[in-house]
A and B are shown apart, each in its own frame.
Chain A
Amino acid sequence: MTREISLNVNGVPRTASAEPRRLLSDFLRHDLGLTGTHVGCEHGVCGCCTVLFDGEPVRSCLMFAVTAAGHEVTTVEGLGADGGMSPVQRAFSECHGLQCGFCTPGFLCTVTALLRDNPRPSEDEVLEGISGNLCRCTGYQNIVKAVHRAADLIAEERTDR
């Protein structure tokens, strides 16, 4: 028994049919083809599947797609403007903030919201802000650097404007 689910993903209205039990993560990945959102545990601990839901970071593996109907979702594919990279994406690349890249989309969404709410986080605020996302490759050293770097890049963009 499927139903039509309409929502706004990365600024684009999307509709697809899925069963009520379909997880938002599976819906994004397999029904909408947005495979940048990854699934690492399916029980809400690793944070790989983090997307922005009406702007707030959520675990898309802990939500049904039907509950997202009518809402706005931003995935890693939608973080950059005009096909370019967002400051957070650029910072992760510049600072070697990723290795295998599997957890990265979740971190990018988390950090995007973090810096929107707190443009100049302290070291402890950064650690706290990303402490819901697991990374098995980097030891987090360069992710922390990347968050500070992203804060710089965002500040520079504001000044340029």
Chain B
Amino acid sequence: MTFGEPIARREDPRLVTGQGRYVDDLGRDALAAAFVRSPHAHARITGIDVDDALDVDGLVAIYTWEDLDGRVGEPLPLLIPHPALTHGRTAHPLARDVVRHVGEAVVMVVARDRYLAEDAAERIRVTYEPLPPVVGVENAVNASCRVHDDVPGNVGAHLVQETGDVSAAIGAAPHVLEFRLDIERSASMPLEGRGVYARWDADDGSLRVYSSTQTSTSVRMAIAVKLGLPANKVEVIAPDVGGGFGVKIVHPWPEEVLVPWAARLLGREVKWTEDRREHFVSAAHERAQVHHVRVGFDDEGRLLGLDVRIQHDHGAYTPYGIIVPIITSTQLLGPYKPGAYRVEFTSLYTNTVIVTPYRGAGRPQGAFCMERTMDRIADELGLDRTAVREVNLIRPEEFPYDQGLIFQDGRPLIYDSGDYPEMLRRIKELIGWDGFAAFRAEAERAGRRVGIGLACYVEGTGVGPYEGGHVEIDSSGRVHVSTGLTSQGQGHQTVFAQVAAAELGVPIEDVTVTTGDTRRFGYAVGTFASRAAVMSGNAIALAARKVREKALRIAGEALEADPRDLEIVDGVVRVKGNAAASIPLRTVAVLSNPLRYAFDEAAQQATQFAVGGSPDDPPLTGEPGLEGRDYYSPPRSTFAYGMHAAIVETDPDTAEIRILRYAVLHDCGRLINPRIVEGQIHGGVAQGVGGALYERMVYDAEGQLLNASFMDFLMPYATEVPRIETGHMETASPLNPLGVKGAGEAGVIPGSAVIAAAIEDAEGIRITRMPISPSELYHLRLAAASGVAERTNRAGSASPS
């Protein structure tokens, strides 16, 4: 059995030898596209003068919005409509009249190569009449000016969910606290940016598009609609993709429409490769949210009522709807029973880059909110922070647990399984929670300042509506597995092969996996929401079971045995207990396809004068070929969970923040490949550390992104990420055949919450906004000293000097 084993990845030999194929590695002779982008956050376009560009050697075409014909010139689709999104707005592929953020595409240039395209782009003069920009939540709320003329108050959406009577519950609570919590913007920031390469086949009237996307099937549908082509004349392939983390689920990007459109118009191959600055100013960001919390609780810290009001900055447009604040609203609850709960969010337009899911997708903010609340309650009551969590945890016997809300998939928020108290016990043990006081005392004696924090989360994974799998065994015994969702480094070629090999009883070496290629599998949703293993994993298992059943039937006929007496071992079907009566799957594959013509020696066995069988029965039962296709569609999401704990040290003089230890416990149901799951957690934690201590998008009041480069947007290097200690629990999901839950996003979710808790514990000063830099911590100390920033109650007794 290969299922559950930490086998080495099957992708790697290719990727470590330079044989990977990312979009920009393809189409060596393609024309190159470059874009003139808005330098203004908000402005009216008053003129576009291309005259100077026309002399550039190698120039092929220049397009502005006025050149876009048919549906290409229409606004891009609003991908996820929602009744609460009353004022959804999307961009045109090239700006029409008004630009609404720095980086919005205004002119497209196509030339012989990228250097020449940029030469031409540089010579195009766009004149603007600047309009007042809206930057930041406060500005958007004040609404002295509008991002969209027809959106009053800059409010795109407003949504309230409530279970129980929160006002009454808080009103009657013995203790009430009220505070504000902020998280700033970060971004997915994959090391490979976006990219699109299109080949138009004029003879065939068909289009092949390679895109660095998290959803090739939906890009295909969008391109087909925009270009007025039948979907079966468009193929979209996600080749090797250099990381996604959410940003590449957005589609179609303007460039994903424009590049294929230009390729067809010009009858030439066209490619666009995003550069890093373009990624900063024209892709997507996430995280920025303001949370106003009001909480009522009893003497033990038990939640009685929780009221959260969220202001969400969604940037200039809403192509991805309001998924992020919906997820914050619902996943904020984590592993706890909130008593009465009311959550309200307002989603606001600003003249900044669009906001769409980045790994965690609203959950890091939710966890920050809830976990800061838990710590606050503990501080108020003078209780241990884990004790307050303990009394609020959902107990194992309470599953399935209905939180009474509607989740991001439109389904009820019902947790399927888990053991939260046991995990709390284990994370405390792993980090040494109970022994920390001694460690702190020792550190203090040495003049060091240390703190400990802990944070929990629950993550709805594997959202629907569905994914499919196709499994085919060919006449040489090779197993070809395909699924429509895409890969960005998660190791799908390995884990899906493990699933198929285990189901079929074949050596994993015989299995190859294709993802994200519409030529192989046309129906899919995409890779997001930690759903690939759950959705495609189960779909592939179901498809493999069909193939197995068919193989046993055909083998049974050939061996004159009851299929129920057969087993498949190492790619050979044999009678249980009689290894001599056997037939290899490759031969079964030959027999599954009754032939008139023998195309090779093996095929001779399936031709009409070679096969036996009754002369009265038709030669073919069902469909030819040893293949099967099936789909997995869950009733609702399955809920993974985890707890992180960290110990930090803060420098008493420089306020430098160092993570001394970082511990993770995680439960994503049955593990298909523990090594890959652990790798996913590692990567998530690193992004969590980045989001807690380093990464932020710095916009000035004019809407200029001041740190749009890797020089200034600080992502963690190896020197910034602590050693990560991990432990696993495996509570199978009762919802799907494999019992798995998603793992992709988990690691990032409690990052800001746990680091904030540990810093607060070290410093005795309330941490209410993240990320936090040494400079900010230093100023916070000054503010606390002068009574402006609030100290924790605990700081009174165990205050560092």
Contact = CB atoms under 8 A, between A and B. Distances in A.
Given A103-B191, A137-B243, A77 B679 contact: no
B542 interface: no
B346 interface: no
A101 B242 contact: yes
Given A96-B676, A100-B243, A102-B243, A140 B115 contact: no
24 contacts: A22-B115, A35-B25, A40-B242, A76-B17, A79-B17, A93-B9, A93-B12, A96-B678, A98-B15, A101-B15, A101-B242, A101-B489, A102-B20, A102-B243, A131-B718, A131-B719, A136-B686, A137-B679, A138-B682, A138-B683, A139-B681, A139-B682, A139-B747, A141-B724
Given A137-B489, A141-B721, 13 more contacts: A34-B18, A38-B242, A85-B17, A101-B12, A101-B240, A102-B192, A104-B15, A105-B18, A131-B718, A133-B718, A135-B718, A138-B686, A140-B682
> Which 9 pairs of residues, A with B, have the shortest CB-CB distance?
A36-B18, A100-B489, A102-B242, A101-B15, A139-B686, A139-B682, A99-B489, A45-B710, A35-B25
B685 interface: yes
B287 to A, nearest CB: 16
A46 interface: yes
A17 interface: no
Nearest to A33: B28
B610 interface: no
B705 to A, nearest CB: 15
Contacts of B718: 126-127, 130-131, 133, 135, 140, 143-144
Interface in A40-80: 40-43, 45-46, 48, 75-77, 79-80
Contacts of A40: 191-192, 242, 276, 710
B675 interface: yes
Given A45-B709, A99-B683, A100-B241, A136 B190 contact: yes
B687 interface: yes
A19 interface: yes
B115 A21 contact: yes
Interface string B46-70: 0000000000000000000000000
B82 interface: no
A79 B13 CA distance: 13
A30 interface: yes
B191 A136 contact: yes
Contacts of A39: 24
B771 interface: no
Interface residues of B, number: 56
A89 B711 contact: no
Contacts of B580: none
Contacts of A132: 717
A108 interface: yes
Contacts of B491: 99
A98 B368 CA distance: 29
Interface in A127-155: 127-128, 130-144
Contacts of A134: 191, 710, 715, 717
A46 B710 contact: yes
A73 to B, nearest CB: 13
Interface string B83-117: 00000000000000000000000000000011100
Contacts of B709: 41, 43, 45
Contacts of B684: 139
A120 interface: no
Nearest to B711: A45
Nearest to A10: B18
Nearest to A75: B18
A156 interface: no
Interface in B480-536: 488-491
Residue from the set B12, B113, B115 with the largest chain A CB neighbour count within 10 Å: B12
Interface string B701-717: 00000000111000101
